[in-house]
A and B are shown apart, each in its own frame.
Chain A
Amino acid sequence: MSSTENIIDYNKKGLPPIFGIFGFGLFGIGLGLSILAYLIEPVRSAYNNVILLEFLSSIGIGSLFLIALEYVVGAVWSTPFRRVFEILSSVLLILPLVAIPVYLHAHDIFHWTHLEVVASDPILNEKSPYLNMTFFTIRIIAYFVIWILFHLLITHNSKKQDVTKDIKLTKLNTKLSAIFLPLFAITLTFSSIDWLMSLEPHWFSTIFGVYYFAGTFLAAIAAGTYLVIWLNEKGLLVKGIGKDHYYSLGALLFGFINFWAYIAFSQYLLIWYANLPEETVWFLQRWNGSWMYFSIFFVVIHFLVPYFALLSQPSKMNPKTLKFMSVWIILAHFFDLYWIVMPTFSREGFVFGWIEIGFLLLGLGIVIVVFNLKAKNQNLVAIGDPRLKRGLDFRL
């Protein structure tokens, strides 16, 4: 494999300044609006903060999952832009900061934290060994520790490989990934239960973790796809990434649009069929008042539009379509979380105002700013990866 080293023609170039300025702009506006929102409507802001937290964790942990999956299955096609996903996953480092305001407002948004209510409610009383503040705190700390630990280990090895070009580091990362994947499955499932499902503590759905995972992975692929195409068009990645790579990303995106719809519908169909009051309450809430219109609209934006936009083979290779649909899907995932979280806050009908927009801008801003900062001091391509040449030669 020594011959590959000479072929890779990569010169580190900085990202265009407009990227950082745009990111800081979004971040600044978003942060300002969110702080203002916390001063005016703290409870509504805390709910929005849950959306923000889960949005960022989607992009961060989804990217890390994709990297781990590629290591474990020995994927070659994705090596030229694995680093983009590695940098995206550094969003995980910011997560604890974003979680602090939610944690401080836990009493406002989590019904099960009201001990006097729990004592008089037989269902919540039975659930209290799991849903109590002490165990909750231990769990969320455990998630952050596990995620950030594996993020640091895997990206550290990958960066070290840029210099040493040692295949052993790939093997080490493969082992780390194999350990990470089951931990990922458990932590992601339970974190979705803790942050999202426990907003309605009486309700339960056994497929909820998978549902959140589908959205998570979709958002991460979308964010990565956009950045890969954009960076490649600016010539910041290595030469040789072309429509075969775009097609693979597009196919992954398309596949997980279907997977999301499949899981979302499975959850709905079983609850609709069994028609048990303790399960249907969640969907009835999302059919209440103007939420009904939002739910119907949501099926269109999260499934029908992206499905038909990416159905044909040429559309999966077209950079313009892919970039547009990536942004679309990132926003759709935001609305997915909005649809999960906000009906608990506003039961009569949906509310969407400057507060929601502020937190959305803050979320996008954080991703861009973190990416910009992290991209400054490392290569945008894993130039030391022994599989890189094969990845560039990948053809359909």
Chain B
Amino acid sequence: MDEKILYGYSGLFDTPDEIIEAANKTAESKFKKYDVHTPYPVHGMDDAMKLKPSRLPYVALVVGLSAMFGMLGFMYWISTVDYPVIVGGKPFFSFPAWVPVLFEITVLSASIATVVAMIAIFFKFPNISHPLHDTDFMKSVTSDKYGISIDVTDDENVEEAKLFLQSIGANNVTAIYWDNDEVNFKNSVLQPKFLALLLVLVIGVSGATYFTLNKLMFMAPFNWMREQAKYIPQEKSTFFSDEFAMRNPVAGTVQRGLLPYKFTKKPEESAALINPLEVTKPNLDLGKKKYDIYCSPCHGYFAEGDSRMRGQFPNPPSLHSEKVRNWSDGRIFNVLTDGQNVMPSYAYQLTRNERWAVILYVRALQRSLNAKESDLK
């Protein structure tokens, strides 16, 4: 076994007054690397040790303010730019409702940052060993004694520290050695052990999250809230004899504000219908949009029947034919509503207004190839 490396010396005191005085004397001595250990915070210790004000508050200030303004910007972006939703009749930029969130995020991030900074910078995480751990000195100062430890690892004359501690009246002056197995001067975040721990943590946390959200929520008793005395879609009814939970409307039910289409299977009579829409830009735009979506796959973007369906049976017809040009708007409407030959009904895909708008657009396409005399002037 190698010879142990000396860490320093520790000494014990019995009362808070003694430790304050001892801290005072140590602060004035040549020893700069020392620490005081007490079982509870002793008032006036900062002064006695002549500690400079801690720099941790700046971490709290900077992180707290950054989090606050970051969150302010984030909420502004969510609520007014990316996904504006009206809540309770309030404006999108409803600052008072954000204040509690800003307050919480400031406090939370500032306190977490303070703790993390303290652990990372001052404790040199992930280094968790310290020569003072597991010593009798530490046992004493965490129960009823007050102690000073002086770090002499880098010093030449180690005996001086021992003599100094004795001179200021310390009891039980003891040498403290580095534990050879744990000698670790480096801030080694990339240790394989530590990385493995991180990996285990990541897998554990994400596995637990996955299990909770995808499995546990569907097990008893967590799924009890799901099982309620109501029918969900597609559920079998035990009450009605036809076993349908969703009931069909009574025969002859008419949708509110919408009269049924009277010319089903009566194409000739439908010719009398008149297009209720005027030829305006918005109507033509709507017609073009719907035409490009629902009609162009067969009839082609320019209604010439030249889509990729051409060559397959049956060829989609051109809408520029004499027959279609001479049809009234009502007649075309009937085709869109009822379908014709292999063309299905588009009544489910297009509302009535949209069908009329499509007809307006088809008329415009037709006139682009077969203009009237008057269009040329």
Listed in ascending order, the chain A residues whose CB lies under 8 Å from chain B are 265, 268-269, 272-273, 275, 311-314, 394-396
Determine the distance from Cα of A273 to Cα of B91 in the docked complex, in whole angstroms: 11
Chain B residues closer than 8 Å to A269, beta-carbon distance = 96-97, 99-100
Of the 9-residue stretches B22-30, B40-48, B185-193, B215-223, which lies at the interface with chain A?
Answer: B40-48
Q: Judging by beta carbons under 8 Å apart, are A396 and B96 in contact?
A: no
Number of A-B contacts (CB under 8 A): 25
Contact B53 A396 (CB under 8 A): no
A273 to chain B, nearest CB (A): 7
Given contacts A265-B99, A273-B88, A311-B61, 16 further A-B contacts (CB under 8 A): A265-B96, A269-B96, A269-B99, A269-B100, A273-B96, A273-B97, A275-B89, A312-B57, A313-B57, A314-B53, A394-B43, A395-B43, A395-B44, A395-B47, A396-B43, A396-B44
Question: Which residue of chain A has the shortest Cβ distance to B46 in the bound complex?
Answer: A396
Residue from B44, B46, B88 in contact with A275 in the complex, judged by beta carbons closer than 8 Å: B88
Q: What are the residues of chain B within 8 A of A396 when measuring CB–CB?
A: 43-44, 46
B88 surroundings in chain A (CB, below 8 A): 273, 275
Give the CA-CA distance A275 to B90 in the complex, in Å: 9
Closest Cβ of chain B to A282, distance in Å, is: 15
User: Chain B: which residue is nearest A312 at the CB level?
Assistant: B57
The dominant DSSP class at the B interface is: helix
Report how far A396 CA is from B97 CA in the complex, Å: 38
Cβ-closest chain A residue relative to B20 = A395
- Which residues of A are found within 8 Å of B53, using beta-carbon distances? 313-314
Question: Residue on B with the closest CB to A314?
Answer: B53
Contacts of B43 in A (CB 8 A): 394-396
Assembled-state Cα–Cα distance A110/B298 (Å):
81
Give 12 CB contacts A-B under 8 Å: A268-B96, A272-B96, A273-B88, A273-B96, A273-B97, A275-B88, A312-B57, A395-B44, A395-B47, A396-B43, A396-B44, A396-B46
Task: Give Cα A182 to B127, complex, Å.
Answer: 53
**Binary flags per residue of B53-95, CB closer than 8 Å to A gives 1, else 0:** 1000100010000000000000000000000000011000000
- Residues of chain A with a CB closer than 8 A to B44's CB: 395-396
Q: Measured between C-beta atoms, what is the minimum distance from B357 to chain A in Å?
A: 41
Complex CA distance for A395 and B44, rounded to whole angstroms: 5
Task: Enumerate chain A residues within 8 angstroms of B47, measured Cβ to Cβ.
Answer: 395
Q: Cβ of B97: which chain A residues have Cβ within 8 Å of it?
A: 269, 273
How many angstroms from the CA of A6 to the CA of B37 in the assembled complex? Answer: 34
Kindly state the separation between the CA atoms of A311 and B60 in the bound complex, as whole angstroms: 12
